[in-house]
Amino acid sequence: MKRIGVICKTGRAEPAAILKSLLPWLVKKGCEVFIDEETATVMGVEGHSRVQIPLLADMIIVFGGDGTMLGVTRLIGDRGVPILGVNLGGLGFITEVNKDELFDVMDEILAGNYSLEERIMLAARVMRNNNAVADFTVLNDVVVNKGALARMIELDTFIDSRYVTTFRADGLIISTPTGSTAYSLAAGGPILYPSLNSIMLSPICPHTLTNRPIVLPDGVEIRSTLKASGEDVFLTLDGQIGFSLQRDDTVEVKKAAFTTRLLIPKDRDYFQVLRTKLKWGER
């Protein structure tokens, strides 16, 4: 992999400072580097639009946090370009590489010593009056949730056309294993090993306490129709994109036709990540 894209979190000076050393190091290794326009402007070098970078690169280095990574996965879509996430602070479940180990990790990657981990994505569609009005693809989760002042919402939910239940709750989270450590975890859902082929359904503050999260095979299609609600109900994608829902809108969710490919250093241990990020074993 000699054609390397670089996408950085906007508004941060730190990536440009790292790249001042990394860029000549990569060029010396025989790499061609494509930097996003915002970062390139700060550095005074040629830049490329973020949309172009997945078309030019064999791999993409993302500097930022999980939010930046999620945006890049949607940008890449079905192109299959592998991503290396470099964490610049915060929890960082999918930006696993620390900045102080970046050069060592890149040395290993350029030598072919790495793993590629396939992560399933979700395709979500909003149906209104039998017409598709919105389509999205996400890595973490699809969430139906109410606004701050809205009453409890009701969601008639079906799996593969079989009626499951009508959730009376503050909302519903449909997540991938990657997203199991995001909003779903805060709502009481289990942690799923990230490479599993599963989809998780987690109600948010359900009125019926026996409504618990359920883990499903990734071949199912989930349909949830908004029935009773207050004024403000939204579909939220990866916690970054919002879409306003109306009564009788149906949200259809299934596994996307493509995956996100993450570059994982050979010595990375997922359970070490859990111990570090979630403080497992500490008292």
Report all structural domains of the chain as residue ranges with CATH numbers, in order of start: 3-113+266-278 (3.40.50.10330), 121-257 (2.60.200.30)
| DSSP 8-state class, residue 180 | G
What is the H or E stretch that residue 128 is in?
strand 114-128
Phi, psi of 107 (to 5 degrees): -60, -45
pLDDT over 60 (residue 28):
yes
pLDDT tens column, 196-246: 999 999 999 998 888 899 999 999 999 999 997 656 899 999 999 999 999
pLDDT value of residue 228: 72
**pTM score of the predicted model:** 0.91
> b/e per residue, 86-119, with b = 16+ CB within 10 A?
bbbeeebbbbbbebeebeebbeebbeeebeebeb
pLDDT, tens only, 67-96: 999 999 999 999 999 999 998 876 678 887
Residue 116 CA, chain-centre distance (Å), reads 16
CA atoms of 94 and 60, how far apart (whole Å): 14
3-state secondary structure (DSSP) of residue 37: helix
pLDDT digits (tens, 9 = 90+) for 123-171: 999 999 999 999 999 999 999 998 776 678 999 999 999 999 999 999 9
**130 residue type, one letter:** N
The DSSP result for 49-61, as a single string, is -TTTHHHH-SEEE
- Provide the H-helix boundaries in the chain: 14-28, 37-43, 53-56, 66-76, 102-110, 183-186, 270-278
Among all residues, which ones are annotated catalytic?
Answer: 66
